[in-house]
Amino acid sequence: MPKRYQGIIDAMEEGVLLINRKLRIVLHNKRSAMILAWADELDGKDLKSIINSSDLIKAASAVFAGKNSERLTIAVYEGVCGPDAFTKGHGREKTIRIRITSLDEKLAALAITDITKIERLSLVRQDFVSNVSHELKTPLTAITGFAETLTDETLTREEIRGFSRIILKNSSHMQRIISDLLLLTSLDRAEIEPSMTTTTDTRIFQEVRSYTQHKANAKETEVGYFPVDKNVTCNESLIVQAVANLVLNAIAYSPDRSEVEVHTKIRNGMMEISVTDHGVGISKEDIPRIFERFYRVDKARSRESGGTGLGLSIVRHIAIIHSGTIKVSSKPGEGSVFTLSIPLS
Ligand SMILES: Nc1ncnc2c1ncn2[C@@H]1O[C@H](COP(=O)(O)OP(=O)(O)OP(=O)(O)O)[C@@H](O)[C@H]1O
Ligand SMILES: [Mg+2]
């Protein structure tokens, strides 16, 4: 084939393979080798030895038997070359979509697209919708139930007051979920172009204290603040919200009369704010998951304390839009350290 044509198919976003009636590859582009994680020469190889899928062989045979085209989606496992490259158990899974089109009676073309990311995104979206529905359903069921009970005319004043309080608690929980979700969405879309001002860690800590002191008092927790009084350029209210979330967690996931410390360190042009507690800690398996929306290690306990499971995911978003990071180190039964780092300017 002329070099020009090879250049054209190499420039394509889709992987392309041409196969003959014997289902041997006669031509391929660079992208196809990338998608198939195939380092060696593909031309001349048996299609079966490259993509080990009986569905694919069936579809290809159907095209040579007279069908115009066939489409299929298959799960493959990347990272290994060879006949078992796409057999379960090797490397990471990915999903590819293949369209086979008949060119003439001797040749067919395979267009291959890697749809792993799109698939994952759509899974995340489905999970998210079902999580939100579930999280809203629980308080809503309580509200409906107790509102119904309130219509009973024989209730005493005390009972009415009690049920109303439950309704109020659940509706404010729903309000929190919704406002947290709205904040997350706007952070996601970077709608909040973080309007940066220069402030100091001392001021940030003062604000954090005013937001969190009532919770600390309620649990008789001693929260110590140790600023270095250094300037930092950030969206102050977002950073206050992030640190306050960390402090509230430190208080919530520690026993009563515990101690929490909030320190600042300056390192490599970054301001590192760390929140240390001596609470329940987090297991290794849970650490990567706690920043996911709605993830809670102990669902019952967190819901009891009015948690939505969105706090840390908000913190992570705030770190990201500041080009910063959030890290955690923790030992179950001993406590946790959450460190938020943001550039000084
Ligand atoms: N300092 C901590 N110590 C132990 N576990 C923690 C700590 N911080 C967070 N976690 C765990 O991570 C989970 C997620 O925290 P996150 O702040 O996102 O949600 P939440 O505290 O349950 O609810 P909220 O949205 O009200 O903050 C918590 O449910 C808890 O299990
Ligand atoms: Mg929290």
Q: Is 328 exposed, middle or buried (0-12, 13-18, 19+ CB in 10 A)?
A: middle
Q: What are phi and psi of 344, to 5 degrees?
A: -65, -35
Closest atom of ligand 1 relative to the 338 alpha carbon: 1
Closest atom of ligand 1 relative to the 298 alpha carbon: 31
Q: Give 194-345's CATH code, choosing from 3.30.565.10, 3.40.50.410, 3.90.600.10, 3.30.70.270.
A: 3.30.565.10
* Ligand of minimum distance to the alpha carbon of 274: 1
pLDDT at 286: 92
Question: What is the third-level CATH fold of 117-191?
Answer: Helix Hairpins (1.10.287)
For ligand 1, say whether the CB of 297 is within 6 Å of any of its atoms.
Answer: yes
* Ligand of minimum distance to the alpha carbon of 339: 1
Q: At the top level of CATH, which class does the domain 3-114 belong to?
A: alpha beta
Ligand 2 centroid, distance to 309 Cα (angstroms): 6
pLDDT at 172: 93
Ligand 2 centroid, distance to 308 Cα (angstroms): 7
Termini Cα distance of the chain: 56
Q: Tokens representing 293? A: 């929306």
Which residue has a Cα nearest atom 19 of ligand 1?
A: 309
Which residue has a Cα nearest atom 17 of ligand 1?
A: 311
pLDDT in tens, 145-198: 999 999 999 999 999 999 999 999 999 999 989 998 888 888 877 665 668 899
Q: Tokens representing 56? A: 């694919």
Contact 249, 322 (CB under 8 A): no
For ligand 1, say whether the CB of 212 is within 6 Å of any of its atoms.
Answer: no
For ligand 1, say whether the CB of 310 is within 6 Å of any of its atoms.
Answer: yes
Task: Kindly give the confidence (pLDDT) of every residue in the chain, 345 residues in length, as a single tens digit, with 9 standing for 90 and above.
Answer: 667 888 888 899 899 999 999 999 999 999 998 888 777 788 899 998 888 888 999 999 999 999 989 999 988 776 555 556 666 556 667 889 999 999 999 999 999 999 988 887 887 788 788 888 888 998 999 999 999 999 999 999 999 999 999 999 999 999 989 998 888 888 877 665 668 899 999 999 999 999 999 999 999 999 999 999 999 999 999 999 999 999 999 999 999 999 999 999 999 999 999 999 999 999 999 998 899 888 888 876 666 667 788 999 999 999 988 999 999 999 999 999 999 999 999
- What is the Cα Rg of the chain in Å? 28
The one-letter code for the residue type at 92 is: R
Name the β-bridge partners of 336. 330
* Ligand of minimum distance to the alpha carbon of 260: 1
SS3 string, the chain, reads: CCHHHHHHHHCCCCEEEEEECCCEEEEECHHHHHHCCCCCCCCCCEHHHHCCCHHHHHHHHHHHCCCCEEEEEEEEECCCCCCCCCCCCCCCEEEEEEEEEECCCCEEEEEEEECHHHHHHHHHHHHHHHHHHHHHHHHHHHHHHHHHHHCCCCCCHHHHHHHHHHHHHHHHHHHHHHHHHHHHHHHHCCCCCCCCEEEEHHHHHHHHHHHHHHHHHHCCCEEEEECCCCEEEECHHHHHHHHHHHHHHHHHCCCCCCEEEEEEEEECCEEEEEEECCCCCCCCCCHHHCCCCCCCCCHHHHHHCCCCCCHHHHHHHHHHHCCCEEEEEEECCCEEEEEEEEECC
pLDDT at 85: 60
Name the β-bridge partners of 55. none
Ligand 1 centroid, distance to 196 Cα (angstroms): 28
Domain boundaries defined on the chain? 3-114, 117-191, 194-345
For ligand 1, say whether the CB of 135 is within 6 Å of any of its atoms.
Answer: no
Distance, in Å, from the CA atom of 28 to the CA atom of 9, rounded to the nearest integer, reads 8
- Tell which one of 221, 302, 304 to mutate to probe ligand 1, the residue whose CB is within 8 A of the most ligand atoms: 302
Q: Output the pTM of the full model.
A: 0.69
State the helix-helix crossing angle for 157-188 and 311-321, rounded to 10 degrees. Answer: 30
pLDDT at 295: 86
For ligand 1, say whether the CB of 311 is within 6 Å of any of its atoms.
Answer: yes
Q: CB atoms < 10 A from the CB of 36, how many?
A: 23
Closest atom of ligand 1 relative to the 301 alpha carbon: 29
Ligand 2 centroid, distance to 202 Cα (angstroms): 23
Q: Is 49 exposed, middle or buried (0-12, 13-18, 19+ CB in 10 A)?
A: middle
Closest atom of ligand 1 relative to the 254 alpha carbon: 3
Contact 116, 20 (CB under 8 A): no
pLDDT in tens, 133-149: 888 998 999 999 999 99
For ligand 1, say whether the CB of 42 is within 6 Å of any of its atoms.
Answer: no
For ligand 1, say whether the CB of 309 is within 6 Å of any of its atoms.
Answer: yes
pLDDT at 91: 62
For ligand 1, say whether the CB of 250 is within 6 Å of any of its atoms.
Answer: yes
Ligand 2 centroid, distance to 195 Cα (angstroms): 25
- Tell which one of 182, 247, 312 to mutate to probe ligand 1, the residue whose CB is within 8 A of the most ligand atoms: 312
Select from 84, 86, 89 the least CA-distant residue to 98: 86
For ligand 1, say whether the CB of 282 is within 6 Å of any of its atoms.
Answer: yes
